[in-house]
Amino acid sequence: MGDSLREIRTMILLALPYPPLPVSVAHVEADECRVDGEESVTTSHTLIGQCLNGAVARADERGNRGRQARQRAALQRFLHSMATAGFFGTAQDVFGIYCGATLEHVASFFPEGHPLDLRFRPMDSVCRGDATHRKMAEYLAGQSVLFQDQPPVGRDQYLLLSYPEQLLLARSRLGHAMTPEEQAALAGHETD
């Protein structure tokens, strides 16, 4: 993939309202189209990035319009879920909403009705410093720049937070720059 396409993919992932979530993936032997049984953990953003690569390679204008329509509908359902339950729920509640929305987003890259086996790892499987935790810190730092926080909050500050705290922060800043109070609370956060 060329550098310009990689940059576009990165910006799309950064702008998603769904943060990186831990998912189990199986290795697929491409030549034989079989799963070899070896599972590993990656993030939902890595998976979505691969789906974007596939969509670009297919260059199917009609399919892209259909996918985009399904993604808009999924986004509306996600926003409704956040407005009615997510903004008042626990980190586990928010994690469940994010998982459902991410599943719908990934499913939009496949034909309607196509069976999709996306296995999210439990929220408590994410540990400070692991790949998902680091990817979430990068996502939040990128959103700090995207939403023009003054000054932007760096990745290292987000690494101090637990994954549930990161999820709640991602929820609280959906679509807006951090308020001075939110930045002060983050700056004052102590490590456990």
Task: Give the type of residue at 35.
Answer: V
Q: How far apart are CA 123 and CA 143, in angstroms?
A: 21
Residue 26 sits at the vertex; the CA angle it makes with 51 and 115, to the nearest 5 degrees, is 60
Average per-residue pLDDT for the chain: 84
Every domain of the chain and the residues it spans: 3-187
Asked whether 94 and 81 are in contact (CB, 8 A), the reply is: no
The confidence band for 186, taking pLDDT boundaries of 50, 70 and 90, is low
Upper half-sphere CA count for residue 51 (Cβ side, 13 Å): 22
* Res 36: pLDDT: 54
Asked whether 136 and 19 are in contact (CB, 8 A), the reply is: yes
Residue 191 sits at the vertex; the CA angle it makes with 185 and 192, to the nearest 5 degrees, is 120
187: which 2 tokens? Answer: 């700056």
Asked whether 188 and 181 are in contact (CB, 8 A), the reply is: no
Asked whether 40 and 27 are in contact (CB, 8 A), the reply is: yes
- Return the higher-pLDDT residue of 165 and 84: 165
pTM > 0.95: no
Report, as an integer, the average pLDDT of 10-34: 75
Give the CA dihedral 22, 25, 30, 36, nearest 10 degrees. 160
Three-state secondary structure call for residue 1: coil
* Res 122: pLDDT: 97
| DSSP3 helix / strand / coil % (the chain, rounded to 5) | 60, 10, 30
Residue 104 makes CB contacts below 8 A (sequence gap 6+) with: 70, 74, 77, 78
- Return the higher-pLDDT residue of 31 and 8: 8
The confidence band for 5, taking pLDDT boundaries of 50, 70 and 90, is confident
